[in-house]
Amino acid sequence: MLRSKKSAYAKWADWMVLWLILVVMLGLLKLAYYAPPAAKATPISLGIRYIPYYAWRSVSRMILAYLLSIVFSIFYGYAAARNKRNEKIMLPILDILQSTPILTFLPVFVFGLTAIMPQKVALEIAAVLLIFTSQAWNMTFAWYQSLTTIPKELKEASNIFLLNSWMRFKKLELPFGFVSLVWNSIMSWAGGWFFLYAAEIFTVGNKNFELVGLGSYIQVAGYHGNIPALMTAILTLIIIIVLLDQFLWRPLLSWSRKFNLEMVSGGAGTETVSWFYPVLRQSKIILWFEGRILKPLVERMDKYFNKKLSKKKIEVVPEDKPFNKKVLIGIGIALGLVFLFTAQRMFAFMNTLKAADYLHILEGALATMLRVFTSLALSLLWTIPVGVLIGSNKKAALFLQPLVQIMASVPATAFFSILILLFIKLPFGINIAAIVFMMLGTQWYLLFNIIAGVATIPQDLRYTASLMRLKKWNYWKTLILPALFPFIITGAITASGGAWNASLIAEYVSSHENTYSTIGLGSIIADATAKSNYPMLFAATFVMIVFVTCINRFGWRRLYSLAKEKYKME
C-alpha cells in the first residue's frame, strides 16, 4: 500500500515537472509574439499587453547578473578568506566598490562599452553590469564571512584527511556557507529589483538611454502618472516574486537544511516549508537529470581537479599561505603607477571646484552619514526580533517569509513620490522621508542575514539552552545574539553601503512637476549627474568612497575581527 502510494506520488511529480517545462517553453514563444514593435523615439510603450515581454527582458538581465555575481562572489571571497595578505588588499577594494554609487558606474560602463561595440549590445551589457553592482557585494561579504567563521575542528578534520583544495571546497567550505549564500541570494535579487529602474533607463551627459524592461516601464508609468499601468506592472512584479519564492528559493532553502551544522537530529521545527521540494525529489525527470547528467559531471570535475592537484606535493595548507614576493612587488609597482596617474588626473579634474564647493560636499557627507546611521539603528530594532521569529518558528515563517520577500523586492522608488507627499508638509519632512526611504532599501540586508544566522544555529545548542531552562533574556544573551553577531555585522556592512547608495534617490526626487531635495551627499551627486557637472560628481563620489571606506575599516572591520575570534561556532 505504501509502495503504490509513493509510486502514484512520483508519477504526479513527473507530470508536474513536465508541465512546468512546457509552460516555460510556451511562455517564451508567447513573449516573442507579443514583443512590441521597434520604435526610435519612445521605445517604452505603456500598453499593458507588453508587460509580460518587458518582465521577461528584465528577468533575463537579472539572471545573467546573478550568475556573474555568484562566480565573482565565490572566487573573490575565497581568495580574500584564504590569505590574510590578500585580505588586506581585497577587502578595502570591496569596500570601495560597494560604496561607489551606481550613477558613477554609468559613464564608465556606457561610454566604455559603446566605444568598442554596437550601442544596443553595449547598453544590454551595461545594464547587466549595473544590476551586478547591486547584487555582488552582498553575496561576497556573506561568503567571506562564512569562510572565516568555519569552526577550527572542521578545518583540522579536513587537514587530517588530507583533503586537497578542491575537495575541501566541495566537502567543507561550500556546504558550510551554502545557507548564508542562499539567503543572501534572495536579498541580492531584491536589491537587483530595487536598482533595476536605474539600470534600464538613465541619462549620461546630454544623452538619454532606454532599455525595454519592467524597471523602465515602472519608471515611465510613474513619471507620466499612469496609475493603471503602474499598478499592473507592480502586480506583475509581485507575481514574479511569488513564483520565484515558490519554485526556486523555498526549494533551495529546504534543500540547504541538509548542510546545517548539527550533532543531533530534530531540526524540522525550523525548516522552510516548500510544497514543491518533495515534487522535485520524487520526479523521475529530476532524478534522471541528477543521475545521468549532474552526477557524471561532478565526478569528471572531481577526477580532473584531483588529478591536477595530485601532481603537487600533498601537504597541509596553512590558512595564511605565503604570497610570492616577486608577484607582490609587481602588483605594488603597478598599483603605485596607477595611483600616481589617477591622482594627477583627479587633482587636475577637481581643480575647477572652489573651496565653497568642498565645504558644501563635506556638509552633505556629514548629513548623509547621520541619516545612514539613523536608518541602520531603526532597522536593527525590528529586523533582529522578526528575523529570529522567521528563522525559528515554522508557522511564522510560512506566512512572513514570502511577505518580506515581496516587500523587499518591490522597488520603493515606485512609491517614493507618494511618500514625499505624505511627509513634505511635516517639519523636516523631506529628511524623514529620506530616512524612511533608506530603510526601505537597506533594512532587508539585515533581515535576510539574521534569518540565515538563525537557520545555522545547531539544534544541539538549542536543546542545551532548553535543558538549562534559560530565561528569555539569558537565552538571547547566551545563544541567540552571539550566534547572530557575525551575520548582523555582515548585514550591517552591506546595509550601510546600500543606504549610502540609496541616498542618491532618497535625497533628490525629480518628477515632471516638481523636484524635491535636501542637503546630503546623495543629493549633490544626483544633481551633478542631472546637470552634467562632472567635477562635482567626481569630487562627491570620491568623498563618499572615503567616508564609507573609513567607516568600514575602523568600525565594521574591527567588529568583523571580533566575530571571527570570539563568536565562531566551535
Residue 350 C-alpha cell reads as: 577637481
- First and final C-alpha spacing in the chain: 46
pLDDT at 402 over 70: yes
User: Three-class SS of residue 316?
Assistant: coil
Rounded Cα gap, residues 45 and 213, in angstroms: 10
Topology adopted by domain 56-259+353-566: MetI-like fold (1.10.3720)
Taking residues 300-324, what's their average pLDDT? 64
Is 81 in contact with 178 (CB distance < 8 Å)?
A: no
Q: What is the pLDDT confidence band of residue 67, given thresholds at 50, 70 and 90?
A: very high
CB contact at 8 A, 286 and 280:
yes
Predicted local confidence at residue 12, as pLDDT? 62
Q: What residue segments make up the domains of the chain, in order of their start?
A: 56-259+353-566, 285-311, 323-351
Q: Check residue 47 and give its pLDDT.
A: 85
Q: In Å, how far from its chain's centre is CA 163?
A: 31
**Confidence at 415, pLDDT banded by 50, 70, 90:** low
pLDDT in tens, 115-135: 677 878 888 888 888 889 888
pLDDT class of 322 with cuts at 50, 70, 90: low
| Interhelix angle 481-506/557-566, nearest 10 degrees | 160
Give the rounded distance of the alpha carbon of 340 from its chain centre. 33
pLDDT at 69: 93
In 434-529, where do the E strands start and end?
A: 508-510, 515-517
* Better pLDDT: 320 or 328: 328
Contacts of 313 (CB under 8 A, 6+ apart): none
Distances (CA, A) of 373 to 124, 434, 495: 35, 12, 10
Q: Which of 184, 187, 221 is nearest to 201 (CA)?
A: 221
Cell numbers that stand for 156 in this block: 583540522
Alpha-carbon distance of 165 to 158, in angstroms, equals: 10
CB 435 within 8 A of CB 505: no
Using an 8 Å Cβ cutoff, are 381 and 441 in contact? no
Question: What is the number of other CB atoms lying within 10 angstroms of the CB of residue 28?
Answer: 11
- What's the pLDDT tens digit per position in 362-374? 999 999 999 999 9
Residues in the chain: 570
Q: pTM for this one? A: 0.75
In sign, the C-alpha dihedral spanning 519, 522, 524, 527 is: negative
Beta-carbon contacts of 131 under 8 Å, excluding residues fewer than 6 positions away, are 61, 62, 65, 192, 195, 196, 199
Average pLDDT of span 155-176? 85
Helix (H, G, I), strand (E, B) or coil at 212: coil
Distance set, CA 542 to CA 69, 295, 534, 545 (Å): 25, 49, 12, 5
d(CA 282, CA 273): 16
pLDDT, tens digit (0-9, with 9 covering 90-100), for 342-360: 666 666 666 778 888 889 8
